[in-house]
Amino acid sequence: MVGILSGVTTLDRAAIEGLIPHRDPFLLIDRVVELEPGVRAVAEHTFTGKEWYQAGHFPGNPIVPGVILVESMAQTATVAAMAHPDYRDGLGLFAGIEEIRFKRMVKPGDTGRFEATVERMRRGFARVAVRTMIGDELAAEGTILAIFQPKAKATP
């Protein structure tokens, strides 16, 4: 995995799983279409309506829950951070969610484009600007605070 990200700007699902610990049914991004390790990532997911949460939200009027959009943006931020060699094989955790605003409903058939830009990262604590786009329309935006723990060092 160490050399896989040199010059690579796109990742498929298998490569995403090589970076972050999320797995089905909770891996909520299908592909990374732009990546600058430690700086920025853009991921996508096409909502099919068959996702595990969709049957109950809402029957007859399916809408992707806002919390799923937030998690998708957070997973994108985690890819950006964990693609950096200092954090690869570590763990990303929420430290806070600030001023997330929802601007548009997301429905089955939509493809979400999740953008995460690291505004600040110091000693593993990061402030990441995130947004979700559906086509040219803003669906959600805000700031995620996260702690990215480096891989545990082996002790002799």
Active site residues: 57
Please name the residues in contact with 61: beta carbons below 8 A apart, sequence gap of 6 or more: none
Whole-angstrom distance, CA of residue 101 vs CA of residue 94: 17
CA dihedral 17, 19, 13, 71 (to 10 degrees): 90
Whole-angstrom distance, CA of residue 9 vs CA of residue 32: 8
How many other C-beta atoms are found inside a 10 Å radius of the C-beta of residue 78? 30
